[in-house]
Amino acid sequence: MSYTADKTIRIIAVPMDLGASRRGTDMGPSALRIAGLGATIRDMGYHLAREEDIPTPAMETRQVEDSHARFKPQILSVCTQLGERVHEIMTAGEFPLVIGGDHSIAMGTVSGAAAHFRDRGEEMGLIWFDAHGDMNVPEVSPSGNIHGMPLAHLLGRGDPDLAGILGFSPKVDPKKVALIGIRDIDAGERKIIRESGIHVFTMRDIDEIGMAKVARQAMEIVTDGTGGFHLSFDVDGCDPSVIPGSGTLVPGGIRFREAHLLLEYCADSRMMTSMEVVELNPFLDQGNVSAERTLHLITSALGKSII
């Protein structure tokens, strides 16, 4: 069992799809619950607190006020509520498992985790598992979709309101960030990524040196001098043959066993203090297979092993 076995895990669902172009990620939490997320975690021997939902507005009830940052006021409100709750949960000694929802929710989750470490006078690490860089800012984003911008804002770039959630910025030192699995980068964000100082492991890196070495290097990056790290897991980091149920599929991704290995390293480190899973879209899935496979990946991150 992993180091979190003596802790309480609290599932927080954030059913939001305002940050994306394709609808359906708001049903991601339901898909994971139907796959048996809560029962599986209990079966692993964990204590599971009462699950929670962060209220999110529907796209149909809101208007786009800024085409460069679509639904910014609503996303800002949801992420602020989420950040406050994650901060409270971690302060109480619990492990927050956030299920989304599109990747814009990470601005809330990571803000809350960062606030917790800030209270303790510690730095935090961040693993960002994704096919995309998520380093756009409103000025250069070709779509205005905020789910392509969260990492940039967590590093203090872009819109001041989104970057300043919970009243401080940046949330994490770029030297403590490992971005893993990218293979689809917009022209504008490529420059931002290069200038940012984060550590990037592309699919070419994974192909050349293998996931085991990438995982070991990532653990060194996010645990060196930190109080712990957060894992932000976008299911589209996996190859579409593994996780077909996502609206942002990019061929040539991480294989199922490779993803398990990375998450096993996260558990073995004994320093993962929070986790989120995003961009699961059951409307694009095949019989909920994506949610079921994602559930297996979550259990690896929480310490399930072969023997």
Q: How does pLDDT run across 35-75, given as a tens digit for each residue?
A: 999 999 999 999 999 999 999 998 888 877 788 999 999 99
Q: How far apart, in whole angstroms, are the C-alpha atoms of residue 66 and residue 144?
A: 8
**Annotated catalytic residue within 87, 116, 147, 260:** 147
Chain position carrying tokens 């990946």: 297
- Residues 246, 280 contacting (CB under 8 angstroms): yes
**Residues paired with residue 129 on neighbouring β-strands, in sequence order:** 180, 233
Is 147 an active-site residue?
yes
Instruction: Give per-residue pLDDT as tens, 172-197.
Output: 999 999 999 999 998 888 999 999 99
CB count in 10 Å sphere of residue 84: 17
Question: Tokens for 192?
Answer: 């931002």
Q: How far apart, in whole angstroms, are the C-alpha atoms of residue 146 and residue 57?
A: 15
* AA identity, residue 254: I
Q: What is the pLDDT of residue 66?
A: 82
Could you tell me if residue 91 is left (phi over 0), alpha (psi between -120 and 50 degrees) or otherwise beta? alpha
**Annotated catalytic residue within 132, 153, 199, 230:** 132
Is 130 an active-site residue?
yes
Q: What is the pLDDT of residue 5?
A: 55
* AA identity, residue 150: P
- Residues 32, 99 contacting (CB under 8 angstroms): yes
**Annotated catalytic residue within 123, 189, 236, 276:** 236
Q: How far apart are the first and last CA of the chain?
A: 10
Over 50: is that where the pLDDT of 166 sits?
yes
**Annotated catalytic residue within 94, 234, 239, 276:** 234
Alpha helices in 164-301 (DSSP H): 187-196, 203-209, 211-223, 256-269, 289-301
Is 234 an active-site residue?
yes
Instruction: Give per-residue pLDDT as tens, 211-254.
Output: 999 999 999 999 999 999 999 999 999 999 999 999 989 999 99
Tell me the average pLDDT across 7-29.
94
Residue 8's closest CA among 54, 52, 53, 41? 41
Q: What is the pLDDT of residue 243?
A: 97
Q: In the CATH hierarchy, which fold is given to the domain comprising 3-301?
A: Arginase; Chain A (3.40.800)
Measure the CA angle with vertex 256, ends 253 and 258; round to 5°: 80
**Annotated catalytic residue within 26, 130, 159, 186:** 130
CB count in 10 Å sphere of residue 251: 10
CB count in 10 Å sphere of residue 208: 10
**Annotated catalytic residue within 134, 186, 264, 285:** 134
Is 184 an active-site residue?
no
Q: What is the pLDDT of residue 13?
A: 98
